[in-house]
Structure 1
Amino acid sequence: MKRRLHIFIVLLFLGFQFSNAQDPNVVGGKSTVKIDFKKTNIKTKITFNEAKNLSNFSKKNKLNNRKVQPIDPDDPIGPDDPIDPNCLTDPKTGKCVDFDIPGDPITNTKEAGSTAGSLSVSLTGAASYSIPIMVPPGIKDVAPNIGISYTSQGANGLAGWGWNVSGLSTISRIPATKYYDNKHDGIDFKEDRFSLDGQRLIIKSGTYGASGSVYQTENYSNVKVVAYGASPYGSTYGPSYFIVYYPDGTRAWYGNSGNSRGRLEWAIFRWQDPQGNYVDYNYQSDNGLLSIKTIKYGGRIGGPSPMNQINFTYATRVRPENVYVGEYSFKRTNLLRSIQVTASGSQYRKYELTHNTTSLGYQRLASVKEYNAQNKALRPITFGYENTSSWIKKRVKSGDLYPGFNYKTSSLIAGDYDGDGRTDVIFYNKNTRDKIYLHINLYDKISLGYKINTEQFSDVFSSTILSWNNKILRQQAVTTVRETSTSSTSSTSAVRFRTFAQAAYGPVHQYDKVWNASKYRTDNYCSSSSYYAIPKKYISGDFNGDGLTDVIAIEKSYTSRNCIQGIGGGDLIEALPESANKINTEEKSISKIKPIDDCDCSSYTTNQYNAKVHFIDLKRTVTSNFAKVSGYLRKGIGSKDRILTADHNGDGKQDIYHFKEGKLYIYIKC
């Protein structure tokens, strides 16, 4: 139906002002208010000639495909609409003529009605839009409540960017938290926690994840969730399935059949009321991720089989979505294309979804077209999206950085060093490494610069520390690393972590942490040996989840020499020191030195297969036992390798990414 009305609403605001002062309209203690009404002609109907002119203008300017707002579904035909809303009467011929008018919600369908949809705003401020899927009634009103829903805060969903199928229920894995579980632990299929449709499941009895354990939802309710069996994926994966018991006798099964169980979730398979009427859900697996395939209802236990069915059809995504959980890869390659509802084998409704594709390959829902039981299309709902400009707007402010920055010899580290919420910088000379220049207020016309005279350091990084009164500093600090090894006879060297932080009058030294690191031994000759510092790579980050900066020290490869007296050129492998025999090596080169006076020496250059990793807690209040061996890397660090950090498993602690050519190794804290 085409609306031919342009209605303007005139709002009349009447203001009343009360005063104790005398007013000419106040007579004898009574107030009178004089209101003047002005006659206004409100145009409620477009004329034939106006429609004709608008139509000609539209064709001339090619505006026939202009996007318009849909007709109000609550008032598709206004009281002043013509009898036939699809045409206007030609005053000369008396015949009905249909025009294409700009702003008129014209589609290529002649069917009356439109697809329902509702717009709302969530409590978090997200724009939400829902399209309910019309389904025939089931036995005693037992039927699924399915829809297509959008949220502006959503990511790439099953039906497009921000779009998903609503009305489905799942029990999913979630991380352990300090508040509920007294520890931070990401999803790793070991000691995961569970949630029912976003509600954390709190253990009431039994062992979390074990068969027979009973749970309640985080927001208290009378719903009881019971776990059964053991997962076929392994004993650490939790139960095989769940049953949810509702106070009215209704039950719901999750993960026990219908391909409703995956590594990440247990999807609802059956919902059943106390009388035995049920709804069954079946799924298909898309590279480890579940997608709804069919919904059957209208059946009863011991009675007729389901006579109503909802079928979901998918297309292949332009840009698949990959996610890694634990040591497994999950990939979403399908995109919802259509939904068909049937009753007793005949079509009841059908919904076709079309998408457009962004420059990055993301697909957005462009329209939803509904078909009735006769397969006749109703007016589609169309969606438009704003596109972000592909260019970055320049915002240039010039300033001076004393004593100047040379990209060849200088290195720069960004951070908020004065706590004002804006980025500041420190830079230093990579050759001298004996002082640091701190610059704040870079957005002001005059930036403030400070010089920090430090001892010579090997590394420097920004850090989050505690103040003298054990509160986290608002501003970031700067920590330098210096390793001193003055004696070749000592088996340890002192690694000093010195921290500075900005105060009201400039940077101030806060505290030091000294770690006595082990050195490696090499023989000068059979009668003498020396100790040297093991080369290391230092990585900063919050590795224990306390919100403060820690350090990981990874040992690099080194060359040592072993000399043995009086073996006359014996087996060199047997001549390795006991400590070297315990190290698996990836690459080893041996150079033999000519024996002198029966002293046989061999040099070994070792790229350690198990590179040792040390953890150093820089927390100000921890003054002893703050360094320990954290483990080993599977591969040694090569000259072209890169080490980065990120919270890979969402447990609030930094993990390590080791990039080698063609490979990526990820290490998480257990």
Structure 2
Amino acid sequence: MEWFGVPRSRRLVELCVRFSLVGASAVLGIAQAQTQTLVPGHTPGEFSVSPSGAATYSIPIQVPPGVAGLVPSLSLNYSSQGGNGIAGLGWSLDAESSITRCPRTLATDGVQGRVNHDGNDRFCLDGQRLMVVSGGYGAAGSEYRTEFDQFSKVVANGAAAGNAANGPESFTVYTKDGRTLQYGNTEDSRIEAQGKVVVATWAVHSISDVKGNTMVFNYGEDTAGGDWRLQSVGYAGRSVHFIYEVRPDIYRGYQVGSLIAPYARLTQVETRIGTAVVQRTNLTYDASSNLYGSRLASVQLCDKDNRCLAPATFGWSSVGPDAYTSAFGFSHGGGKDNNITADFNGDGRSDMMGFTGSGTNWHVCLASATVAAPAFDCALWQGSALGVKSVVAKDFNGDGRTDMAAYTGTANKWHVCLSTGSGFQCAYWYSHSGGVTKNVSGDFNGDGRTDMAYYTGANGIWSMCLSTGSGFSCSNWASHGGGYANNLTADFNGDGLDDMAGYTGANGNWHVCLSNGAGFNCSYMTSHTGGVSKTKLGDFNGDGLTDMAGFLGTPGSGVAPWKICLSTGTNFTCSDWTAHNAGLLGAVGDYNGDGRTDLAAYNFSLAQWRMCLSTGTNFTCSMWSGSGHDEAQGDYNGDGIDDFAAYTGSSGKWRFSFSLKKERPLIQSITRGTVATGIEYHGMSAPGQLVYTKENSSVYPYRDIQSPMWLVRRTTVSNGVGSVNATRYHYGGMRAELASAAGRGRGNQGFRWYRLFEEPTQTELHFWHAQDWPYTGQTIQSRVRVVGARAADEAIKLTDTQYTCYQTMGASPTTGCPAGVPGLIYLVWPHVATVKSWDYNGVALPEVQTWRAYNGTNLTDGSLKQLGDVTVLRVDVLQAGVLKHRKRTVNEYHPAKTTGTDWQIGRLKKATATSTQY
């Protein structure tokens, strides 16, 4: 049998994109079932654990060779941290490239924005921000580079539908290796936002090399659902075709008023030579449940005669039964009316706090990090002298810990007590004079710190007091005129800034005021007619926009319609969903960990919960066993699913109800023939077998992160002798940069370090990563240690790497990259890498240092330009710190052509190597 394969270690081409959203309006060309013959071997694939702690698996889609190496690089990829994609939960199709709209950011543009489908949008090439170097942004003929320079020239062409407001008609990309890529230059590769003529995505249509060979991509678009899919790739008389079916788990989300509803699910990939099918990759799915999304069951490679390799099969974790389990735990004795549930130490688990009634003593009970919930470590913290009903509990300084603020009643003076994680530090801050009862809290400027607002009573004018981390800065913002009692605060358009909404009292018209960080932009939107008093807020379809749920009936038993009004980012779209009939007496939260807001109500007569889980288009309701009430809702065990607590009235004894539902399904086993891989996960915030170490050293605008994120804790691989080889993983030091000023706000910067321990060889590999921009994610140090080798188990190998950054559009080829300056284009490169090694007895081996220099390349006009070409490479070998050998290579390049359609760079002319023995 003939297989058109590629090595498993083959790297994907530089320009690739995850088509995690695809669309189809019908079942497309599903192949006829044939008798299958199993042949020796198994469907290829490669498992790994990413530096972010995700379990990943990659299956190459094998293709026949092309001319001069021009072939598509295609694969199916799984990430346990991915969304519900083209092949189900966690799966995406790595095909080729696209240019999409992306928001302006404070870090790059000095402005915090969102995608607006207008001239304020920016463009991203496969997720890399495009920086304009010539012309107006989005204008015909404008030229771009990627923010981290890939040394490709990107040119915008024309105007879509003849109007520049719709974006460019197409893009042309000239790559460093001499290829030319056309994006959006055909109707099928130019994808408009649903219901608009504005182009949302420019997909690659063709790739041509310098010899004139061309590869063509064809797409299908579902205009009603705002979605698209890759249909085929053709090259050199060969082609790859993607076959879909209507997915049973259609997701509906919104962006700037446009619907996004992926309609298709990949079922087969066909490889053809001419018109003859020579190979198929077949995908099958678990049909038992689609509540969380599609679950891929197997992938199998077959030839044209349906002779097939053993499939790769995937075992998924159980989501758990529809029930609660109850347990008693001891916290403070204040009861439900004297309790605040929040995360006071920033560990991702909900804590409890009650006022003792004596002086400034508060009984703070932190969820245990080592003992399974419900368990608390309680202590007295000194805070405000006022009780629970007189304080606002929010994060006022942006460190991820909940603080408290109490109004003194005197001249705008507030007593603000900032949590340190083990106590409060209190000071007086000056804010508005409305007090706690008339205060509205939210992060109105998106800097990660909670602000305060108070309605002045004058024509929609609010006193907006923005937190500085050590005080408040107040000014007047114009918003709706409904006041604090007729106000809802939430992020209705998904830009990371809290907005305001007030009901006008007429026909479902709401006055919605969207924050821009320095004020509000107000307009009227249509939602339900119940007003603020009959509204629950939540993200009911999981698209990142806050929606409204209105109960307009009379509370009773059984089920009833709710008016669910989903935010589109520019308005609301309302429909009736069926849920419990308890009305606003019920609770809202995510009770199954799927990222969508659910509704719940406790039925005392049945001693059960009526749980209504959102599917994104309605609720699915059932009765769950378990006792308790929703007096104190929180995530007490750090699993990302909301729990309930009710006070028993007895000496600090609380009854906790924990959902037996687990976080959405994850692949926990992969089988390929006789090779089986097992995967165990643990939550960052979950107590017990710790997989993550939080570092509490960050200073604003940085924040140390601990969240209910699931990480790989241990993997096993069958070793062929009846046992398994196991590897353990541990992570630490995740942090984020908050949007505090221009040049800031780059978000999550990943783990500072992670390590893995291979049990059979007793070998530990430890990696440290940079977190400062623009070096974020670069490995700066690695260590290999073997138990029993060297004294005190010291390292047998140490690698240190120092990085340098140049501005590729700077005044000279070696202009540096100053910190905190927005709008730069970067070349980040390893300046020197030092490798030190020892044998198992501790005897030092030769040290190797590798030095690189990027001094610029001459253009045809004689000027010098930074084009990412290594000009000098030096390798030094040292023994006991003394230089013993040096090899120095000097590279000379042909003058680069960078004008017009010419883009000929990086062509090596001569390399001169000199070796010296000392």
2:209 counterpart letter in structure 1: D
Cα shift at 1:541: 2.4
2:344 counterpart letter in structure 1: Y
Deviations 1:10-44 (A, max 9, x none): xxxxxxxxxxxxxxxxxxxxxxxxxxxxxxxxxxx
User: Which residue of structure 1 lines up, in the alignment, with residue 405 of structure 2?
Assistant: 479
Please state whether the residue corresponding to 2:108 is helix, strand or coil. helix
Cα shift at 1:401: 2.2
Cα shift at 1:215: 1.4
Cα shift at 1:482: 7.4
Separation in 2 of the partners of 1:474 and 1:132? 41
Does 1:425 find its partner at 2:352? Answer: yes
Provide the TM-score with structure 2 as the length reference.
Answer: 0.45
Match of 1:645 among 477, 484, 490: 490
Match of 1:383 among 314, 328, 350: 314
Cα shift at 1:442: 5.4
Does 1:117 find its partner at 2:18? Answer: no
2:364 counterpart letter in structure 1: H
Please state whether the residue corresponding to 2:218 is helix, strand or coil. strand
Cα shift at 1:169: 1.1
1:629 counterpart letter in structure 2: W
1:49-64 aligned within 5 A: none
Cα shift at 1:476: 3.2
Does 1:440 find its partner at 2:365? Answer: yes
User: Which residue of structure 2 lines up, in the alignment, with residue 588 of structure 1?
Assistant: none
Unaligned runs of 5+ in 2: 2-6, 9-34, 194-199, 369-374, 501-545, 551-562, 571-918
Cα shift at 1:395: 8.3
Separation in 1 of the partners of 2:282 and 2:392? 54
Bigger shift: residues 236-245 or 449-458: 449-458
- Cα distance change, pair 379–516 in 1 and its aligned pair in 2 (3 A): closer
Does 1:659 find its partner at 2:548? Answer: yes
Separation in 1 of the partners of 2:421 and 2:176? 62
Match of 1:308 among 212, 224, 238: 238
In 2, are the aligned partners of 1:495 and 1:516 still within 8 Å (CA)?
A: yes
- Cα distance change, pair 503–346 in 1 and its aligned pair in 2 (3 A): closer
User: Which residue of structure 1 lines up, in the alignment, with residue 303 of structure 2?
Assistant: 372
- Cα distance change, pair 642–425 in 1 and its aligned pair in 2 (3 A): farther
In 1, are the aligned partners of 2:249 and 2:290 still within 8 Å (CA)?
A: no
In 2, are the aligned partners of 1:642 and 1:660 still within 8 Å (CA)?
A: no
User: Which residue of structure 2 lines up, in the alignment, with residue 544 of structure 1?
Assistant: 445
User: Which residue of structure 2 lines up, in the alignment, with residue 619 of structure 1?
Assistant: 468
In 2, are the aligned partners of 1:254 and 1:270 still within 8 Å (CA)?
A: yes
User: Which residue of structure 2 lines up, in the alignment, with residue 460 of structure 1?
Assistant: 391
Deviations 1:147-178 (A, max 9, x none): 22222332211112122221221122333222
Cα shift at 1:435: 8.8
Does 1:278 find its partner at 2:214? Answer: yes
User: Which residue of structure 2 lines up, in the alignment, with residue 629 of structure 1?
Assistant: 477
Cα shift at 1:550: 0.4
In 1, are the aligned partners of 2:365 and 2:376 still within 8 Å (CA)?
A: no
In 1, are the aligned partners of 2:429 and 2:471 still within 8 Å (CA)?
A: no
- Cα distance change, pair 359–554 in 1 and its aligned pair in 2 (3 A): farther
Does 1:142 find its partner at 2:70? Answer: yes
User: Which residue of structure 2 lines up, in the alignment, with residue 288 of structure 1?
Assistant: 226
Does 1:131 find its partner at 2:55? Answer: no
Separation in 1 of the partners of 2:148 and 2:419? 44
Match of 2:235 among 270, 294, 297: 297
Separation in 1 of the partners of 2:169 and 2:308? 44
1:136 counterpart letter in structure 2: P
Please state whether the residue corresponding to 1:398 is helix, strand or coil. strand
Please state whether the residue corresponding to 2:269 is helix, strand or coil. strand
1:596-607 aligned within 5 A: none
Separation in 2 of the partners of 1:177 and 1:423? 31
Cα shift at 1:243: 0.8
Does 1:511 find its partner at 2:428? Answer: yes
1:1-80 aligned within 5 A: none
Aligned residues: 463
Separation in 1 of the partners of 2:423 and 2:57? 53
In 2, are the aligned partners of 1:428 and 1:437 still within 8 Å (CA)?
A: yes
Please state whether the residue corresponding to 1:447 is helix, strand or coil. strand
1:351 counterpart letter in structure 2: T
- Cα distance change, pair 159–629 in 1 and its aligned pair in 2 (3 A): same
Does 1:322 find its partner at 2:252? Answer: yes
| Higher RCO, 1 vs 2 (CA within 8 Å, ≥6 residues apart) | 2
Please state whether the residue corresponding to 1:295 is helix, strand or coil. strand
- Cα distance change, pair 387–259 in 1 and its aligned pair in 2 (3 A): same
- Cα distance change, pair 260–613 in 1 and its aligned pair in 2 (3 A): farther
In 2, are the aligned partners of 1:258 and 1:269 still within 8 Å (CA)?
A: no
Cα shift at 1:438: 4.3
2:352 counterpart letter in structure 1: V
In 1, are the aligned partners of 2:403 and 2:417 still within 8 Å (CA)?
A: yes
Match of 2:154 among 225, 236, 242: 225
- Cα distance change, pair 143–437 in 1 and its aligned pair in 2 (3 A): same
1:653 counterpart letter in structure 2: L
- Cα distance change, pair 511–158 in 1 and its aligned pair in 2 (3 A): same
Does 1:331 find its partner at 2:248? Answer: no
Cα shift at 1:354: 0.6
Deviations 1:93-124 (A, max 9, x none): xxxxxxxxxxxxxx962445543333344343
In 1, are the aligned partners of 2:355 and 2:388 still within 8 Å (CA)?
A: no
User: Which residue of structure 2 lines up, in the alignment, with residue 265 of structure 1?
Assistant: 201
Separation in 2 of the partners of 1:141 and 1:456? 72
User: Which residue of structure 1 lines up, in the alignment, with residue 15 of structure 2?
Assistant: none
Separation in 2 of the partners of 1:233 and 1:622? 51
Please state whether the residue corresponding to 1:259 is helix, strand or coil. coil
Unaligned runs of 5+ in 1: 2-72, 75-106, 299-306, 467-471, 485-493, 518-532, 557-578, 584-610
1:654 counterpart letter in structure 2: D
- Cα distance change, pair 419–339 in 1 and its aligned pair in 2 (3 A): closer
Separation in 2 of the partners of 1:536 and 1:234? 51
1:163 counterpart letter in structure 2: W
User: Which residue of structure 1 lines up, in the alignment, with residue 126 of structure 2?
Assistant: 197
Bigger shift: residues 411-420 or 323-332: 411-420
Separation in 2 of the partners of 1:458 and 1:554? 20
Deviations 1:343-378 (A, max 9, x none): 221112222211114462421211223332334444
Separation in 2 of the partners of 1:474 and 1:160? 33
Q: Percent identical across equivalent pairs?
A: 29
Does 1:414 find its partner at 2:341? Answer: yes
Bigger shift: residues 264-273 or 420-429: 420-429
Separation in 1 of the partners of 2:262 and 2:479? 34
Deviations 1:423-463 (A, max 9, x none): 4333479xx9x999442345477622457564699763223
In 2, are the aligned partners of 1:127 and 1:152 still within 8 Å (CA)?
A: yes
Separation in 2 of the partners of 1:368 and 1:503? 50
User: Which residue of structure 2 lines up, in the alignment, with residue 89 of structure 1?
Assistant: none
In 2, are the aligned partners of 1:117 and 1:129 still within 8 Å (CA)?
A: yes
In 2, are the aligned partners of 1:615 and 1:630 still within 8 Å (CA)?
A: no
Provide the TM-score with structure 1 as the length reference.
Answer: 0.60
Deviations 1:367-425 (A, max 9, x none): 223332334444333222232434789685632524x31x4xx1633234356776433
Deviations 1:173-220 (A, max 9, x none): 333222221122222324223222232222222222222221112332
Cα shift at 1:502: 5.3
User: Which residue of structure 2 lines up, in the alignment, with residue 98 of structure 1?
Assistant: none
User: Which residue of structure 2 lines up, in the alignment, with residue 188 of structure 1?
Assistant: 116
Cα shift at 1:268: 0.7
